[in-house]
Amino acid sequence: MKSKIFLISLIFLFFSGCIGINSKGIFGTGVSIAFDPRSLGTQIDDSVMQKSLITRLILRDKSYLLSVSTKVLDGKIFLTGKVEDPEEKLQITKLAWETKGVRSVRNDIKIKEDFNFKQSVKDLLITAQLRTALTFNKQIKASNYQIDTYKKKIFIYGISLTVDERKKVIKEAKEILDVKDVIASIILVKDLRIQKN
C-alpha cells in the first residue's frame, strides 16, 4: 500500500513540475488542473510556449526576467510588467507573436518614460489611417490584425488568410504618409497549430 502511495505521489510530483497543480490565472485566482477547461495536451503546449517565450525574452535582455510576466492560455499570450520605452514594448509583442503556436497576444506592459503628446498624436493618426484602410479593403480581414505605431514605425501583428492578403496589408501600411518603417509579424493561417475547420 505504501509503495502505491509513493508511486502515485511520484507521478503526481512529476506532472506538477511540467504543468502545475495550481496556477495563478490572469485574474489571480487559483486554477486546478481538474477544473481547467483545456485538455492536458493544450496545457502542455501552453507550458512549452510560455517557457520558449520566457527564454527568448531573457536572451534578449536579462532584466525582462523580473520586469515582464507572461501567461499562455490556449495559445493566447498575455504580457504584463513595465519597460523603459514603447519600442521595447512593441519588440516584446513581436517576440510573442513569433512564438510557435500563438493564436493571439494581449500586451498590457506599461511604459516608464515621460509622455510626448505631439509624437503620440502623430502615431495615433498613423494607426487610425492604417486601421481605416484595412477595414475598407474588402480583400483584407481587418479584425485579424493588431496595429501599434511608435515614432512613425508601424508594428503589425496578426493572422493572414493568404500570402496575398499579407502583402496587401504591408502595402497599405507603406502607403501611409510619414511612415518611416513597417515591421510586420503576420502569420499565415496554414501555419497555425490549430486551424478552424
Q: Looking at residue 98, what is its pLDDT?
A: 92
Q: Looking at residue 143, what is its pLDDT?
A: 83
- Tens-digit pLDDT profile for residues 141-192: 888 887 888 888 898 877 788 999 999 999 999 999 999 999 888 878 777 6
Longest dimension (CA), the chain: 75
Q: Looking at residue 56, what is its pLDDT?
A: 94
What distance in Å separates the CA atoms of residue 79 and residue 122, rounded to the nearest whole number? 25
How much is the average pLDDT of 67-84?
85
Query: Which helix (H) or strand (E) is 190 found in, with range?
Result: none
Task: Identify the CA nearest to 154 among candidates 170, 132, 135, 133.
Answer: 170
Domains of the chain: 38-113 (3.30.1340.30), 117-191 (3.30.1340)
What distance in Å separates the CA atoms of residue 176 and residue 178, rounded to the nearest whole number? 7
Question: Is the pLDDT assigned to residue 135 strictly greater than 60?
Answer: yes
Backbone angles phi, psi at 61, to 5 degrees: -160, 120
Question: Is the pLDDT assigned to residue 108 strictly greater than 90?
Answer: no
Q: Looking at residue 60, what is its pLDDT?
A: 92
Task: Identify the CA nearest to 94 among candidates 148, 51, 43.
Answer: 148
* Residue 15: how many other CB atoms lie within 10 Å: 15
What mean pLDDT, rounded, does the chain reach? Answer: 79
pTM of the entire predicted model: 0.55
Evaluate whether 104 touches 158 at the Cβ level (below 8 Å). no
